[in-house]
Structure 1
Amino acid sequence: MRMKRYIVNALPEAVAMIRTDLGHDAVILETKQIHVGGFMGMFRKKKMEVIAAVEGGAGKAPAKPKQVPAPEVGAALQQLLLQSSKGTAAAVSPAAASEAESAPVAHNVSRPTESSPAKPASLKEEKEQFIINEIRELRDYMKKLSKSGAFAQTYSESIAALQNRLLEQEVEQRWIDELAEALQQEEQSRGEILTQREAWALAYDWFSAKLKPFTNEGIREDTRVIQFVGPTGVGKTTSIAKLAAEQSIKHGRKIGFITSDTYRIAAVEQLRTYANILDAPMEVVFSPADLTKAYKALEDRDLILMDTAGRNYRSELHVSEVNSLLHSSEQSEIILVLSLTGKFKDMTLLADRFKKYGIRKAIFTKCDETVVYGAIFNLVMEYELLPTHIASGQTVPDDIAPFHSKSYVEMLLGEADHE
């Protein structure tokens, strides 16, 4: 048995080489994706390794007259390749598709001639079915390779480095692809490859433009009641204390507190401690009926901050229960508190639950406990959230700041030469 190894860009390319080197009787024993080239393990290119063999004594096939596929097989083949091209047209060139079409057919089926009597119909149909099955397998294999990235479009080193950074930041793939395509178009219009710093600068502008429609003014001056919702452990009570201190110390507003988080005694005592430090009154409510009395007791306050219970927000019942406490005749805002250390899937569930009730503003906490910030961008784009603040640490009131897209994008992208 003669064996030979080929390193190619795509399987159809190998088929042509195998036919030339080993003849029509050769078979493909193994195919796998490998990486070649690169520098110090980086920027390696994807290739296909194909191992083919032919039985001993079988050499290169002698030249034969050009054979034409039977009309029935050609039509079936064209239909199959047309179906395949829907999934791989962007990845496979017309030349490669043509090679894939001719490779399995030319040496199996030929048009009957005077010197070659017609085969029985049953044998002809059997051969045709065999060819069709082979083409289907090739089509399915090409689709699989396309999905795995074997035929994926390649980008310059600077764009690839940016893609890796955004993958690390857990930015959703669709946004990474959209940005990469935009940068590649910029390279084509310039007629030159972007440097890494240029790619980062253009990415900064791209993210800033995406976030611009969702720039939020923070807490409005005419707001009198702010209600905070979110699961347990995200830093809801601490964020309330930070904002209360900011509004009291920096803006001179008289602050009042309401808490409905009676499920955790520690939460009530924690908020009461902050209220005592700020010399601010606090009311505890156990049902929506108690809210009217609480608002009445705090009618001399400029700003009332209300803490709600952290519940299991996978339950629609618990979400509606909290929502029943959020109705107010006062000028009010509702803010969803999310932790950047939480699972992104859980964060999307919360955003989806509360979006039904018109809640769009959000505070992102525990920024200092993670180095991954892509969740903010994903949630803003998917649920049109309006980030008001980013919080980090436990220091009141210093460890909270208004959300600014400029500083956020800088944090998301990092330095161009960070790698």
Structure 2
Amino acid sequence: MKVKRYIASTSREALRQVKEELGEDAVILSNRKIRNGVEIMALADAEMSNLVQQDTPAPSLSSLSRHYESQNDFTEAETYSKRVPENPLQQPSLHENDSISATFARDIIAEIQAMRTTLEDQMATVAWGNFTQRRPDKVKLLRTLLDCGFSPLLTRHLIGKLPEDLDYEQSLKQAMSILTANLRTAVSDDMIERGGIYALVGPTGVGKTTTTAKLAARCVIRHGADKVALLTTDSYRIGGHEQLRIYGQLLGIPVRNIKDTEDLQLTLSELRNKHMVLIDTVGMSQRDRMVVQQMSMLRNCGMEVKRILILSATCNGKTLDEIISAYQEGGISGCIITKVDEAASLGVVLDAAIRRKLMLHYVANGQKVPEDIHAAHSRYLLHRAFKSSPKDSAFTLQDAEFALIMATKGEAETLSSMGQAIAGLAYD
């Protein structure tokens, strides 16, 4: 490790010497005033990287001592003298010397990393302050989007899409236009018109059975009860099969219970003349290994089964991302958002649908069959997401809290790259 010592009459002159010899990425270890001016101890960035990454033993005590003595720096030498026994008859062994050297090197690395972290935090705070002064309208829009439930990732990239010369109202209107263009929605009642075999999948408690009944009712109204069939694989949940059977009786549709892949294959073969076959699957955690087995059964039944993922609007963003990742591996044809009437804001679930590029078919907002299910319309849903933004929630950040959270290392790095839009984000 080659620590360089620079002495000059002023700090500016000393820093100029450091930049000329070590480059702009040099690490400043110390900066202090001396009788003749200013003393700066610096280390080349490459030396620092090698020191952090190497797993080999640190330099020996003697080599480090000679280095610091040659540099006339006594601070670290005094530290060594405290660790080495004063009695010459009790000098440490070579192994002990290496251990002391390694400990000292680790201490230096820890101190340098702490200094770097402090400087990065201070620079991030300054960067955020400059950003708020230069683009106050964009900061206001940033807060609006976050309060509506949209993720910081999508929000930052969305703001990066907007022209610099727009005020808040213009930026908000443009942001809603971009979000509308990127929220993929199916043609109204496309599933009912096309027909086919659909399996409703998703975690427990999101309303798969009720949604299955709602879709069946819409199809019965359009094509008749003799063109619709209901299947269920839910033999685990108490009353799950009976609940769907009751809906089937009200609609005049028989409900069949499916046990395994072979049973599903045989049943679907018998139902080829049906316009629509709806399969109500077992609800299970996205972390359950049985998710893979369930998707495998639907994929290997000998016929094309389109998987429709049911998402609850009441879930938080991280949970939605986990659910989508778990079910997307098996392939999904679209999604339906349920419990819209129970959600404080639609921003979270719409954000997930936009980022994961899901095709949204329907939204459900209650328990009534078939009234409480509607075709998805992107403009209406986004308008509702912004309109229902909570203003006095316990989770709403105050101005000081918002500035403190945004002025972090991660936010500062992303603020510097706002011009790069999220991959595939359309601009309209």
Q: 1:38 matched to which residue of 2?
A: none
4+ residue runs of structure 1 moved beyond 6 angstroms?
100-103, 127-130, 132-137, 415-419
CA contact (8 A) 2:229 2:274 kept: yes
Asked if residue 109 in structure 1 is aligned to residue 87 in structure 2, the reply is: no
**Could you tell me how far 1:72 is from its partner in structure 2?**
9.7
CA distance in 2, matches of 1:339, 1:415: 17
2-side partners of 1:409 and 1:331: how far apart?
33
Structure-2 residue corresponding to 1:161? 140
Q: Deviations over 1:146-200 (max 9, x none)?
A: 45x44212264443332122212332212211222333x331xxxxx51x33222
Seen in structure 2, the aligned counterparts of structure 1 residues 83 and 176 have a Cα distance that, compared at 3 Å, is: farther
In structure 2, the CA distance between the partners of 1:244 and 1:417, relative to structure 1 (3 Å rule), is: closer
- Deviation, 1:415, is 8.1
Change (3 A) 1:381 1:109: same
Does 2:175 correspond to 1:203? yes
The one of 311, 319, 326 aligned to 1:346: 319
Aligned residue number for residue 241 of structure 1: 213
Mapped pair 1:180 → 2:159: yes
Letter in 2 for 1:166: L
When residues 378 and 342 of structure 1 are mapped into structure 2, their CA distance, relative to the original with a 3 A threshold, is same
Report the 3-state secondary structure (helix = DSSP H, G, I; strand = E; otherwise coil) of the residue aligned with 1:226. strand
Equivalent residue runs for 1:15-414 within 5 Å:
69=13, 74-75=18-19, 79=23, 82=25, 107-109=37-39, 122=69, 124-126=71-73, 139-147=116-124, 149-152=125-128, 153-154=131-132, 156-183=135-162, 185-187=163-165, 194=167, 196-211=168-183, 214-217=184-187, 218-219=190-191, 221-252=193-224, 254-414=227-387
**Are the counterparts in 1 of residues 149 and 347 from structure 2 also a CA contact under 8 Å?**
yes
Q: CA deviation at 1:317?
A: 3.8
Q: Which runs of 5+ in 2 are unaligned?
A: 1-7, 41-67, 78-107, 393-428
TM-score under structure 1 normalisation? 0.65
Tell me: CA distance 1:102–1:315, structure 2 relative to 1, closer, same or farther (3 Å). Answer: closer
Q: Which amino acid aligns with 1:216?
A: A
Secondary structure, in 3 states, of the residue corresponding to 1:82?
A: coil
Q: Distance in 1 between matches of 2:33 and 2:156?
A: 38
Contact 1:361 1:386 in 2 (8 A): yes
What is the Cα-based RMSD across aligned positions, in Å? 3.8
Structure 2 vs 1, CA of residues 67 and 275 (structure 1 numbering), >3 Å: closer, same or farther? closer
Counterpart code for 1:259: T
Amino acid at match of 1:410: H
Larger CA deviation: 385-394 vs 372-381:
372-381
Aligned-residue offset at 1:216: 2.7
Instruction: Say which is worse superposed, 288-297 or 230-239, in terms of deviation.
Output: 288-297
Distance apart, 1:417 and its partner CA: 12
**Residue of structure 2 in register with 1:28 after alignment:** none
Partners of 2:186 and 2:291 lie apart in 1 by 28
Letter paired with 1:234:
V
Which whole-Å CA distance do the structure 2 matches of 1:127 and 1:411 have between them?
68
After TM superposition, the structure 1 stretch with the greater mean CA deviation from structure 2, 381-390 or 391-400, is 381-390
Q: What amino acid does structure 2 have at the position aligned with 1:230?
A: G
Partner of 1:8: none
Note if contact 1:257-1:304 (Cα within 8 Å) is conserved in structure 2.
Answer: yes
Cα distance, 1:336 vs structure 2: 0.9
CA offsets, 1:249-275, max 9 Å, x none? 145462210011011231111101110
Q: Which stretch has the larger CA shift, 357-366 or 368-377?
A: 368-377
- Sequence identity, in percent? 26
Per the alignment, do residues 291 and 415 of structure 1 end up closer, same or farther by CA in structure 2, a change over 3 Å counting? closer
Counterpart CA distance in 2 for 1:82 and 1:300 is 72
Amino acid at match of 2:361: T
